[in-house]
Structure 1
Amino acid sequence: MKKWVQIVMMVMLSVFSLQAGFLEMERQKALKENKLILLTLEKEGCPYCIKMQKDVFGVPKFNQHIAKNYLHVSINGEDPTLPQALHVKYFPTNLILSPRDLSIVDEFAGYSDPLNFIELLDIVYTQEFK
């Protein structure tokens, strides 16, 4: 039984390390490209998450506009290995992270129509890089 618990703990630590490493790669890339990180926390089966993917992230013109100033990363917000700061109540939640220290610059919870969402992202980017 002890061995089984050790195996489960090792797997959980490996998953967390992979996520942390993945975010670290995005952080380095964002620093080089003078971009912010847009981290979308989604929940499987969430109708608003699906709508946001379809209406915003799935539309090439919006996706290209976002890519000018942001590195976009989507993750499962219900993953128990996420750091406590990333545990959210509402889905989707979009966190804007500073590439300097991965601190949360701003956050938007729930669905937002494409034009308002893009406008919010533009405002945050402008304020961060004055």
Structure 2
Amino acid sequence: MKKLVAFLVAAGIVAYGCNKQPSEPKFSVDPNPVIQQAINSKKNLIVIFESETCPYCDKLNREVLRDIEVKQNLIKNNIEIAIVNVDGSRKVLDPEGKKEVDEKTLSSLYRVTGYPTIAVFNPDKNYELIGVIPGYIPKDYFMKLADYLGAKCYEKMEFQKYIDNGGKC
């Protein structure tokens, strides 16, 4: 039996233990330098508001944000992503208001009540909020969001119309 379990684990068919893969601690990347870098470089900016105990936040990170195809698409579309802890106390720059506040206050400013919440900012209009997407979105939808931002389709239409239009402006 031990040999069978070892084989299944080695083959990636089953995970050992609690089915959780080892990863870096949640919120290990400070969002403030990411936000500052996006603003200084006039890059597209997505701020994702997450909670420590949110399973859909974990799913978004695991299945979407860590995906190599998504990472390449973000680079192609000149997008920075900052992840904010809704209960956090680190100081972050509010992209729209340009004031430094703690993460919890920033979450309140954008009326975040569910997690994850994805906020998208317009670099051409001094990081004015374009819109907010509440909840988890799958990889293909996230890739379309990145393309929508990269092509500046937000200047012409709402995101849902872009989706309904087959990803064309």
TM-score by length of 1: 0.70
Distance in 2 separating the partners of 1:45 and 1:62 = 24
CA distance change for structure 1 residues 121 and 22 in 2, over 3 Å: closer, same or farther? closer
Distance in 2 separating the partners of 1:19 and 1:74 = 6
- Residue number in structure 2 paired with 1:82: 106
CA distance change for structure 1 residues 55 and 19 in 2, over 3 Å: closer, same or farther? closer
CA RMSD across the alignment? 2.5
Offset at residue 62 of structure 1 (A) = 1.0
Question: For residues 9-48 of structure 1, what are the structure 2 equivalents within 5 Å?
Answer: 23-29=35-41, 31=42, 35-48=43-56
Offset at residue 81 of structure 1 (A) = 3.7
| Structure 2: gaps spanning 5 or more residues | 1-29, 89-103, 157-169
- Residue number in structure 2 paired with 1:8: none
- Residue number in structure 1 paired with 2:67: 59
Identity across the alignment (%) = 23
| Structure 1: gaps spanning 5 or more residues | 1-17
CA distance change for structure 1 residues 93 and 21 in 2, over 3 Å: closer, same or farther? same
Residue type of the alignment partner of 2:87: E
Greater relative contact order (Cα < 8 A, sep 6+): 1
Q: Bigger shift: 99-108 or 37-46? A: 99-108
CA distance change for structure 1 residues 26 and 124 in 2, over 3 Å: closer, same or farther? closer
2:86/2:107 contact within 8 Å kept: no
Offset at residue 21 of structure 1 (A) = 6.8
Structure 2 residue 143 is matched with structure 1 residue 118: yes
TM-score by length of 2: 0.55
